Amino acid sequence: MRHEKTTCFLPCRKGSQRVPNKNIRPFCGYQFGLIEIKLKQLLEADAIDSIVLSTNDESILEYASSLGNCKIKLHKRQEHLSTSETSTDQLVAHALELIDEGNILWTHVTSPFLNAFHYNEIVKLYSEKVLEGYDSLMTTNLIHGFLWQNGDAMNYDRQVEKWPRTQTLTPVHEVNSGAFLAHTKIYSELDDRIGRRPYLYSLDKLISHDIDWPDDFTIAECLLEKGLVSL
């Protein structure tokens, strides 16, 4: 049986305080950079029925429109939802305004190595986990290390052993923002992009590489040039 309709929500704000024009600057031979790569990946993912691209960047709108693909739905985002102060909570409401039925797969162009194969796997896994009682999914990185907060260890008991072997530590999930998947009912009822019982899907560290700083952009190009990841 085919999965319920899944729509990708792709928010893409103009400008970047840390990496100028990072969403559309040339990247490893791709003239339109990260937006070109991400739209290509999403269009190739059979599990994604349509893509809602929300942006205030005219150059991105122009590029996406030039593809002439009916799977892409363009939305020119208002400026008050496009500033560095815009909260994720505001974008959750915005996503629901644009997508009012089915599942919403929220992803970002800044995860260039999360490709069509991974999106298909995520949708498939989500469908399976819903049957097991989970209500949503989000991707994470597993951290195996000594984590401290407020002056004390978070993931081990120093009263039992001050420095246990790292492989015996309880791993901690770090949300990497690669993908969030939930039904529109979750958005409507909880004002959130995950539910009360999300399935945490850990990704390989290289696949989940996120471009947020100038060094991240350079590292991403090196990973691709070395063949350690694929688009």
Question: How confident is the model over 96-116, as pLDDT tens digits?
Answer: 999 999 999 999 999 999 999
Query: What mean pLDDT do residues 169-194 have?
Result: 96
Tens-place pLDDT, residues 186-206: 999 999 999 999 999 999 999
pTM of the model: 0.94
Secondary structure percentages of the chain, helix, strand, coil, to 5: 30, 25, 45
Q: Give the C-alpha separation, 123 to 45, whole Å.
A: 10
User: In whole numbers, what is the pLDDT of the chain averaged over residues?
Assistant: 94
- The amino acid sitting at 55 is T
pLDDT exceeds cutoff 70 at 20: yes
Q: CA dist 65 to 69, 109, 177, 221, 223, Å? A: 8, 17, 26, 26, 30
Whether 64 and 35 have beta carbons less than 8 Å apart is answered as yes
Q: Give the C-alpha separation, 106 to 108, whole Å.
A: 7
- The domain locations on the chain are 6-140+174-225
Long-range CB contact pairs, 100-103, < 8 A, 24+: 100/184, 101/5, 101/184, 102/4, 102/5, 102/6, 102/7, 102/49, 102/183, 102/184, 103/3, 103/4, 103/5, 103/6, 103/7, 103/181, 103/182, 103/183, 103/184
Say yes or no: domain 6-140+174-225 is CATH 3.90.550.10.
yes
